Chains A and B, each alone.
Chain A
Amino acid sequence: MKPAFAALIAAAMLAGAALPLAAQPVAKPAQPVARPATAASAAPAEEGLTGSVTDESEWQDLGIAIPTFPTNEMLPTAADGGNTEALGRNLARVIYGDLKNNGLFKPVGPDALPKIAFGEVTAPAFPGWRARSAEMLVQGFVKSAPDGRLTVGCYLYDVALGSELARQGYVVKPEEWRRAAHKCADMVYARLSGESPFFDSKIAYIAETGPKDHRRKQLAIMDSDGANHRFITNGQATALTPRYSPDYSKIAYLTYLNGNPRIFVYDIGSGQQRLVTEGKGPTFAPRWSPDGKNILYSMAIAGNTDIYRVPATGGESIKLTDSPGIDVGGSYSPDGTRIVFESDRSGSQQVYVMNADGTNQKRISFFGGRAATPEWSPRGDQIAFTHIAGNLRVAVMNPSGGEMRYLTDSWQDEAPTWSPNGRIVQFFRTTKSTGRTAIWQVDLTGRNERKLNTPVDGSDPAWGPVLP
């Protein structure tokens, strides 16, 4: 099944670019658009609007008003709300939720703001917003076409300057209305922070229920904000450590389906799954290459675990490590040339880097304690990992093993994975004694930590890339 976000006017900052879907233009701009979000993320924001947020800088508290998105005509829709007017409020709520939860902004949502008229979308009443102390303003509209498709326009304004900063338009099927909201939030986030977007992405994780000694563990997926939650497996067999393929078409994960732990590659469209390899030993810790063509896995033969690489479509496995110790995990650098992994060949779990073909294996963690579950940032500049010295804590270091610092301080935080833009680290936290688990996110400053709402307990979170 193909993600049917067919006619997303992604390219879509109307600025300058010729619209591929000229038949569905978004409302005419009041004035020329400043610059596309993609360009904004490549270069620091200009005009002193905001600085680019770096690891060291303080997070800012930028006031953003997000009123309900008005519609030109109230029509029934299959999207949440039942009609385009109610949907307009839901769109603004989703955007509000996205922007509120990353610690960078202080948004005010549609439930605390007056409604605006359709005509105001492209001609904001700036004096009124200034009176409300809003620094930024996100306005938009929603229209329903006869075929049911929705057109959502999204505009970002600087209230003080009284000018438009960015705009995008999206055409979505009613059931994908949330994606339009996430894309809008991504545009705002990227334009104001100078970072790459990440809201329009999904998370695979393990949903946990039941007592500590009979934990039921199911593979589940959800949007980055927890919406559209879906269980993939029924929990009859313990499932662990999922990883989305870069194109979201598959999930590699461990299951005790046939009694023994093995990695299966599950096809989301067909619901079919197959073994990652027919090898005899147990396989675990699956990881995709950035281009989705290969899968790393760890396999134990006669008690000794090494890391292997196999084509994602199946085929011959290549053994990458060959130490008598436990070599496990593995995470590619974004350019696919190197792999960071974990080994206890020195006597305890430590982090190593090797070339993608297995050559030049070098230990990089030398700061005491044990270092486990390394994951290379999609930006390439950081490696997140679990540091074990009594408690388990999430930490980051650079690819040479320097500048190690903790992001969390709790009894047991482990298994960090990255947001698609490399700004947020996601992990799971286990509660002492009860064994209850929850998925948490923390930004790179370590100051903004939040628990993700999942229907039941959650562990082993893995983010996928931003959807196209």
Chain B
Amino acid sequence: MTKETVPVNHKIFTALLLTSGLALAGCATKPKELPPQPSGAATTTTTTPPVSQPMGPVPGTQADFVASVLGDTILFDTDRYNIDSEDQGLLQSQAQWLARYPGKRVSIEGHCDERGTRDYNLALGERRANAAKNYLVSLGIDASRITTISYGKERPVALGSDESSWARNRRAITITVQ
């Protein structure tokens, strides 16, 4: 992944926007998975950040995306692809980030658990990715900025053969593309 260099003054500006966005999103929903704390977010409000030591991820990057949104992953029930209220809050935070960086595009990966047949899971993963995409589009994100890809059951993140692992693998994950 290539790192972007951003002018420092711009960085302060976006960091401020970022924290306010997070606060809004935090009120809107109760995240099912707490995102990693945006590192350095608490200190970015200081008006004189040290120039030589950037705090937090470079704005607009994948790392920044992950640090800024409530989560990059929404989860699904067995064979389902609906966006529930928890997913909505999470996707809203993604939409806010996308609104902040109109030049950025994302790919949404749809995945399934191992307890299904291969072809069907490819179709189901595509359906899940599109469900997430459609929700982002309904929030005003241009559809041309979002691509989808299904990996079916080919790329599990949880490796057990049990309910909790399967629950984690039934997912749609949003990844920024440069």
Contact = CB atoms under 8 A, between A and B. Distances in A.
A58 interface: no
Given A260-B149, A261-B149, A432-B161, A300 B123 contact: yes
A388 B159 contact: no
Given A282-B149, A282-B150, A433-B161, A305 B123 contact: yes
B155 to A, nearest CB: 7
A217 B116 CA distance: 18
Interface stretch (B2-10, B43-51, B124-132): B124-132
A430 B154 contact: no
Contacts of A281: 126
A241 B161 contact: no
Interface string A323-351: 00010110000000000001010001100
Contacts, number: 96
Interface of A: 211-213, 215, 217, 238, 240-241, 254, 259-261, 281-282, 284-285, 298, 300, 302-305, 326, 328-329, 342, 344, 348-349, 372-373, 386, 388, 392, 412, 414-415, 430, 432-433, 435, 460
Given A261-B149, A302-B130, A304-B127, A213 B157 contact: yes
A300 B147 CA distance: 13
Nearest to B159: A212
Contacts of B126: 281-282, 300, 303, 305
Nearest to A372: B117
B156 A261 contact: no
Contact of A326 (B118, B127, B157): B127
Contacts of B157: 213
Contacts of A433: 159-161
Interface in B134-178: 134, 148-150, 154-157, 159-161
A379 B79 CA distance: 33
Contacts of B116: 372, 388
B84 interface: no
Nearest to B155: A213
Contacts of B154: 215, 217, 238, 240
A430 B119 contact: no
A130 B157 CA distance: 62
Interface of B: 79, 81, 114-120, 122-124, 126-127, 129-131, 133-134, 148-150, 154-157, 159-161
A69 B118 CA distance: 45
Contacts of B129: 303
A303 B130 contact: yes
Contact of B150 (A261, A344, A388, A415): A261
A296 to B, nearest CB: 11
A212 B159 CA distance: 7
A253 to B, nearest CB: 12
27 contacts: A212-B156, A217-B154, A240-B154, A259-B149, A282-B126, A282-B150, A284-B122, A300-B123, A300-B126, A300-B130, A303-B130, A305-B123, A326-B127, A328-B120, A328-B122, A329-B119, A342-B119, A348-B79, A349-B117, A349-B120, A372-B117, A372-B120, A412-B115, A414-B118, A433-B160, A435-B156, A435-B159
A460 B122 contact: no
A6 to B, nearest CB: 38
A282 B159 CA distance: 26
Contacts of B114: 412, 430, 435
A386 B149 contact: no
Contacts of A344: 79, 120
A323 to B, nearest CB: 12
A203 B118 CA distance: 19
A303 B159 contact: no
Given A282-B150, A303-B148, A342-B119, 15 more contacts: A213-B157, A282-B149, A298-B119, A303-B81, A303-B133, A326-B123, A328-B123, A329-B119, A342-B120, A348-B79, A388-B115, A414-B117, A430-B114, A433-B161, A435-B114
